[in-house]
Amino acid sequence: MLERVDITYISPCLAEPDKIRLKARLGKSIEEVLPYLNAVMEGASFNPAVPCITIRRDFRVLTLYPEELTMIKAENSTDAMQVIEWLKKQIRDIWERKDEITPDYTRSEKPHPLMIYKQLPGTNCGACGETNCMAFAFKLLGGEQEVDNCRPLKEGDYLESREMLNNLFVS
């Protein structure tokens, strides 16, 4: 199913510079696999509106789009490439058993506020109109705030975090 994954970009994670983040182009679209991954992978977070799915491999976080993936918090490039091999195998295995799996097209439950909080700059600067980042995280979850209202997130080098939050809250 997914044979080719070409990494196009690698750089240090902004929040944790001893970890790396990357982007990769997929050899072919995996759009139809996403609901199957959503059905099978524990802790996956699926948003059919994008569409994309966020999954975890221990401490690494991967977001899969139909023709692209991003990964954050990999140990180093060897580690990241190993995680990609793992992902290929997961997808291959799931696709082989697809007749036994009921795909799940529903949007995942809302994530935990702490998970949201961890993606925020954590400066408690108040630019969003909230007293601190945690409050902003709760409001985001409640639909009373928008990701782009956190100005530091938008203007600083928080590309992955912003993308991840957008993926969660885009409808």
Partner 1 sequence: MAIYLDNAATSYPKPEAVYQAVEDYQRNIGVSPGRGAYQRAIQAEQLVFNTRRALGQLFNISDLSRIIFTANVTEALNLALKGLLGPEDHVITTSIEHNAVWRPLMHLKKERNIRVTRLANPEGCQLDVAELEEVLGPGAELVVVNHASNVTGAIMPLQEIGSLCQEYEVPLLFDSAQTAGVLPIDVEKAGISLLGFTGHKGLLGPTGTGGLYLAPEIELKPLKEGGTGSKSYLETQPEDLPDRYESGTPNTMGLAGLKAGVEYILDRGLDEIRARELQLTEMLLEKLNRLEGCEVYGPGSARERVAVVSFNLASIPAAEAAYVLDEVYDIMVRAGLHCAPVIHRELGLENRGSLRVSPGLFTEKEELDQLEKALEEILAR
- The residue ranges that bind partner 1 (CB under 8 A) are 7-12, 17-18, 20, 75-79, 81-82, 85
β-bridge pairing 60-64 and 68-74: antiparallel
Query: Among 49-57, 86-94, 102-110, 144-152, which window interacts with ligand SF4 (CB under 6 A)?
Result: 144-152
**132: contact with ligand SF4 by CB under 6 A:** yes
Q: What, of partner 1, ligand SF4, none, does residue 130 touch, CB below 5 to 8 Å by kind?
A: ligand SF4
Number of other CB atoms surrounding residue 109 within 10 Å? 8
170 sits near ligand SF4 (criterion: CB under 6 A): no
Site membership for ligand SF4, residue 120 (CB under 6 A): yes
Integer angstrom CA distances of residue 147 from 32, 73, 94, 135, 164: 28, 21, 33, 13, 10
Tell me if 128 contacts ligand SF4 by CB under 6 A: yes
Determine the size of the site formed for ligand SF4 (CB under 6 A). Answer: 16
Which partner, ligand SF4, partner 1, none, binds residue 20 by CB below 5 to 8 Å per kind?
A: partner 1
Residues 6+ away with beta carbon under 8 Å from 2? 26, 27, 28, 30, 33, 87, 88, 91, 92
User: Scanning residues 85 to 114, which ones bind ligand SF4 (CB under 6 A)?
Assistant: none
Task: Report how far residue 105's alpha carbon sits from residue 47's, in angstroms, rounded to the nearest whole number.
Answer: 9
Cis peptide bond N-terminal to 152, omega within 30: no
> Where does this chain bind ligand SF4 (CB under 6 A)?
120-121, 123-128, 130, 132-133, 136, 150-153
